[in-house]
Amino acid sequence: MKKAAASSVSADGATSAVEQFQEETLMLSYASVGALSILCKAFCPPGVSSGSPSVRHSPDYLKPLTPSNVLERLSAILTSSHLPTQERGKKALKSLLASNNADKSLLDEAMKRAVVTTDQSDTNNGRFFEVISQAIASSGNHGFTFAQALLRAWAPGYDEIPEHANFRSRAMLRNELLEMETEAEKMYWSEEENTSESEPKMHSFCSRVIQFLEPLCPSLREKWGTVALEWSTSCSIRSVAFRSLQIFRALLPRLKTQQLALIIGRLSNTISASDDAVKLFTTELILTVHAIVSSNNFDMSLLPQIFWCTCATLTTTVEQEFAEALKLLESLLKIVDFDDPFIIEQLLARRPLEWTGSASLQPNLLNGLRSSVTTARTLRILQSLSEFKDAKIIDSSNGRVRDLYTLSLPWCLHSMIAEKTGGDKSTDDALRRFAENIGDLAKQEGRVSIHKIMTSFAKGHFRTKDDFLRQSVASLREHYGVEHWTEIVTLLMGLVLNRERWLRIQSMQILKVLFQQRETRNPVELLGSELLMPLLRLLETDLASQALDVLEEPMAMSGGLAAKHVLRMSMHSRTLPNSQEVDSVATVFGVPEESGWSVVKADELRDACRSNLMEVFDTCSMPTRPSRIEFEPEEIEVLAEPSRVEDLGGLVQNLHDLTTFFQDDIKPTSMNGAVPNRRLEARVAAILAKSTAHEETVMDIPSTPFVDVFRVAGMSSDEDSDQSSVNSDEELDAFYFDSPTVYRSAPNGSHFP
């Protein structure tokens, strides 16, 4: 460099040039000072001394350049009233922050200079705030934490509090901020975390922020919560709306009617949706209402709207949403006394005028007994509701005792078996209390035999399970055998859908005895062979023999779907290409999920559920109804990478070739395995034909043997060849129609195919 300086001038001036270079090098010995010199010269207004080290020698310029020194110079530049200078200073500050986003001391110092009041927007502090806020909003790697951006800007406000001596000192505030910054990684949540992982972090972070800032702004919780709720109910970006709801639950301010209306209105747009992402958001909405009810500052004036919102939500078609609605109802039962005339009057007075379907609790809860996911909580709620004598809200029809008594029988049978093996005593105590409550309600209706049976069970007077079963079914026949047989059978068949093994077994035992009663042979008002679908679904499980025992009982079914349609819907529902086709013709159960959850006419039920929620929204006296907001589609990164798509296409082709190769070997074996299934369908079709026949011809049909139907494994090739003729479609169809009613119309007016 020295030689370059000497060669750039004449020989006479070389000496002076080298001396000047050495002097400049000495003054700019620190690289940071040199950078400051360049900044000062570049951004100094015309006609004003830049303060450059090369212009004025000062010992201060030879000190190490700290973040405070750099920001001090930039602060002086940003103080200028010269607009081009301000812009150059902003650019310099932006570049400095972007290139040093890991320098904690620099960011802290910049944040201190960004503290600005409303009357200081046109100052250097205001310009610091402008640059920093833009950096935070536009860059994901800005380096500023939310604790820094929010808390440090508010900390000086403690000095302005009139009684600031009663609050924490500046040193204590500084230490608390440092502690929060140290724990930042533990407090922050990522987008990939689920609710159970992220929500505790949100609660911890928000509570610490509120604790720090609430002395400065007593209404901060309400204001922050209002903004979070508005974002959650109006934002079309699902992830933002999702997290905003979680932040609202973490803050949980005291709710107003207008804010509750926002939640109910949004819920009416998303409940029972088919999209998985929308289902998750709907679950978050119900969780939010649950958190409101469980909070210590719950406003009881909102109880009517929340209660009817809960009733409407219980009619959802989505299992997880129903499960969350059960939790919400459990919390409501802790604060609501349905035997209090004042509460009942208030609830009935605020019930929406236009309500679709049942407006009672118990009928909407029964569907939860079909699912193994929701059974336990549903039964627990029904046990709680049985404590109340007033039925206006619970179930104002004559079916309250009938349904409670019917659904309790499988649990009673299971309890009697568990007593011999040492079951859970707390569960038995709850069940005995449930039986006593049912007995009291039955006595209130004048059903003496039910009262005696339930009281005897609660006291343990039954010696055997069979004795209890026989008397229980006899009492059902006595009180409900004439007009309500269909409701009882439907409820018990719904329990057979439940994946819980013992519940299926006990329900089938009751059904077997029930079908032996004379009333079940009368097809009047029965819903047809679709009622048998839960039993037919068990024919390919290890409970096939128990299901066949029930199906073998003489019964008459009238109306509904054709028997052959029910058979295929039951045994092949998991392989149907479009479950909506089945749902469009089903009238009792629909297509069950793996847990047993099932809804019939899902589209109609969803429309009714949303309509009822909108009616609840109207009771909040809002000026306008909420507009429908559709979430923006989620970005799929894979679709934006052509190379990966090509690789995926090749992989799919390879897998297809490999599958084809192995299917050539597997095909003969799978055909052998299909033999018993086809034979099973044929034999079950005979049962359906017998069940749907007219009463005078039922006794003429011989019982169908099922001894060898389930011998799937261990069949020899000789047996396969001997039975090959049975597998032809012509012979199977002939077997399907081997019924005295083959040439007659079905009771519903259709013909068996």
pLDDT at 207 over 80: yes
Query: What tokens does 599 get?
Result: 């809804």
Other C-beta atoms closer than 10 Å to the C-beta of 297 total 9
Can you give the pLDDT at residue 680? 62
Determine which helix (DSSP H) or strand (DSSP E) holds 618, and give its type and residue range.
helix 602-618
Least confident of 106-115, 373-382, 578-587: 578-587
More confident call, 733 vs 492: 492
Q: What is the pLDDT of residue 687?
A: 62
Query: What residues form DSSP beta bridges with 31?
Result: none
Question: What per-residue confidence (pLDDT) applies to 175?
Answer: 77
pLDDT at res. 116? 61
As a whole number of angstroms, the distance between CA 152 and CA 148 comes to 5
pLDDT band at 551 (very low <50, low <70, confident <90, very high): confident
Structure tokens at 538: 């068990």
Q: What confidence category does residue 710 fall into, taking pLDDT thresholds of 50, 70 and 90?
A: very low
Average pLDDT rounded to a whole number, residues 15-34: 57
Mean pLDDT of all residues in the chain?
Answer: 75
Is the pLDDT at 155 greater than 50, yes or no? yes
Q: What's the rounded Cα separation, in Å, for the pair 697 and 523?
A: 13
Mean pLDDT of 582-592: 68
Query: What number of residues does the chain have?
Result: 753
State the pLDDT at residue 709. 39
- For the segment 90-110, the average pLDDT, to the nearest whole number, is 79
One DSSP character per residue, 314-361 reads TT-S-HHHHHHHHHHHHHHHTT--TT-HHHHHHHHHTS-SS--S--SH
- Tell me, what's the pLDDT at 409? 97
For residue 649, the model assigns a pLDDT of 52
Model confidence at 22, pLDDT cuts 50, 70, 90, reads: low
Q: Indicate if the pLDDT at residue 744 is higher than 50.
A: no
- Specify the DSSP class assigned to residue 156: G
Amino acid at 290: H
713 pLDDT above the threshold of 50: no
Say yes or no to pLDDT of 294 above 90: yes
pLDDT band at 714 (very low <50, low <70, confident <90, very high): very low
| Cβ density class 708-745: b for 16+ within 10 Å, e for less | ebbeeeeeeeeeeeebeeebeeeeeeebbeebebeeee
β-strand partners of 751: 745
- pLDDT, tens digit (0-9, with 9 covering 90-100), for 32-84: 555 655 555 555 555 555 555 555 555 555 556 666 777 888 888 888 888 88
Residue 153 has a pLDDT of 56
pLDDT (tens digit per residue) in 666-696: 444 333 433 446 666 666 666 656 555 544 4
Indicate the pLDDT class of residue 515, thresholds 50, 70 and 90: confident
The model's pLDDT over 396-413, given as tens digits with 9 standing for 90+, comes to 888 999 999 999 999 999
Alpha carbon separation from 689 to 308, 531, 557, 559, 707 (Å, rounded): 45, 14, 10, 13, 20
pLDDT at 20: 65
Encoding tokens for residue 505?
């077994």
Flag whether pLDDT at 659 surpasses 70.
no
Average pLDDT over residues 448-458: 95
Confidence of residue 509 (pLDDT cuts 50, 70, 90): very high
* Of the listed ranges 102-111, 146-155, 207-216, 534-543, the one predicted with least confidence: 146-155
pTM of the complete model beyond 0.75: no
Q: What is the pLDDT of residue 72?
A: 80
Q: What is the pLDDT of residue 539?
A: 84
- Average pLDDT rounded to a whole number, residues 489-509: 95
Question: Contact 225/217 with Cβ under 8 angstroms?
Answer: no
For position 431, what pLDDT does the model report? 95
pLDDT in tens, 106-124: 777 787 777 665 555 577 7
Say whether pLDDT at 552 is over 50. Answer: yes
Q: What local confidence, expressed as pLDDT, does residue 691 receive?
A: 56
Whether the predicted pLDDT of 741 surpasses 60: no
Q: What pLDDT is attached to residue 266? A: 94
Identify which of 132, 91, 90 has the alpha carbon closest to the alpha carbon of residue 114: 132
- What is the distance between the terminal CA atoms of the chain, rounded to a whole angstrom? 102
Mean of the pLDDT values across residues 336-356? 94
- Find out whether 685 and 567 touch, Cβ atoms under 8 Å: yes
Per the DSSP assignment, residues forming a β-bridge with 9 are none
Q: Which of 20-29, 193-202, 403-412, 600-609 has the highest mean pLDDT?
A: 403-412
Residue 440 has pLDDT above 50, yes or no: yes
3-class SS letters over 639-686: HHCHHHHHHHHHHHHHHHHHHHHHHHHHHHHHHHHHHHHHHHHHHHHH
Distance CA 24, CA 44 (A): 20
pLDDT given for residue 537 in this prediction: 86
Q: State whether the Cα torsion 609-614-615-619 is positive or negative.
A: positive
* Mean pLDDT of all residues in 253-282: 93
